[in-house]
Amino acid sequence: MKHKLRYIKLPVLLILVAFLFSFAEKRNNARKISEIKVQFVGGENLYVTEEAVNNLLIQNDVAATDIDKETLDLNRVERLLNNHDMIENAEAFLSLDGKLQAKIVQRKPIGRIVGNSTYYLDENGSEMPLSPYYSARVPLLLGVDSGAVEKVYPLVAYIQQDDFLTQHVTAIKRMSGNKFELQMRKLDFKVYFGKAENIALKFNNFKAFYKKAIQDEKLDTYKRVNLQFEDQVVCTKK
């Protein structure tokens, strides 16, 4: 008799555990979202703010604090964030304490196109609108229309990855024949780059010229530095 009771108790216990687990899960899903927490991953410049992200989610009725966890569609939250002009990638998830968390990677501008319309060129070579919250310190791209973006992009991308060039190049001007001229910060000469070809070689030549001119104290004696020839730097004096 005792053995029979033991066998009966085990299924009852399993059913009870399953019931309690189901009840707890349902109760957890019915809990309201207690808070929205936004984390920006990488980079310190905020082209979109935490407040703007919160407002975007609330206005679209996908993350209001009166929505329960079971109703919330995390995929929709991510789609909404990823469609934002300033966001490169977003991941949304719920924490155990009922907080909606979003990890956001912002788009990174590398140049600012100035013309009939003004906008950024991002690190992927795509157009990016200006931000109302922060103005990026990137080279101005002059005379570059939408048809010439692919021509200037390799040059801008290379400059953005080099600390020396980022510090010195303030503008890139497109000339006829898709050739480019660089304007430099605190240097009284312009750099004629030519076509965006053999970029690393040309800039290495320029760095060697710059170092030698610094040593000889002759930087102020030039009005134009020509890099279009691969094997030499041609300088024009004032």
Q: What is the pLDDT along the chain (238 residues), one digit of tens a residue?
A: 444 444 455 554 455 444 444 433 444 444 455 577 888 988 677 899 988 988 888 887 765 544 555 556 788 888 999 999 999 999 988 877 777 888 999 999 999 999 888 999 999 999 999 999 999 999 999 999 888 999 999 999 999 999 999 999 999 999 998 999 999 998 889 999 999 999 999 999 999 999 999 999 888 899 999 999 878 899 988 8
One-letter amino acid identity for 164? F
> Looking at the domain 109-237, which fold is it?
Rossmann fold (3.40.50)
Give the pairing of strands 99-106 and 87-94.
antiparallel
The gap between the terminal CA atoms of the chain, to the nearest Å, is: 112
Query: What CA–CA distance (Å, rounded) separates 222 from 184?
Result: 13
Cβ atoms of residues 172 and 121 within 8 Å:
no
One-letter amino acid identity for 72? L
Per-residue pLDDT at 20: 44
Per-residue pLDDT at 215: 94
Within the chain, residue ranges assigned H as helices are 2-29, 50-59, 74-82, 149-160, 163-168, 199-216
Per-residue pLDDT at 74: 80
Query: What CA–CA distance (Å, rounded) separates 121 from 157?
Result: 10
Per-residue pLDDT at 26: 44
Cβ atoms of residues 87 and 115 within 8 Å:
no
The b-or-e profile of 183-202 (16+ CB within 10 A means b, else e) is: bbeebebbbbbbebeebeeb
Q: Write out the two tokens for 227.
A: 């890099």
The DSSP code sequence of 57-114 is: HHHTTSS-TTSBTTT--HHHHHHHHHTSTTEEEEEEEE-TTSEEEEEEEE--EEEEEE
- Give the distance from CA 21 to its chain's centroid: 43
> Looking at the domain 35-106, which fold is it?
Ubiquitin-like (UB roll) (3.10.20)
One-letter amino acid identity for 119? Y
Give the 3-state secondary structure of residue 189: coil
Residue spans of the domains in the chain: they are 35-106, 109-237
Per-residue pLDDT at 15: 55
Query: What CA–CA distance (Å, rounded) separates 178 from 165?
Result: 21
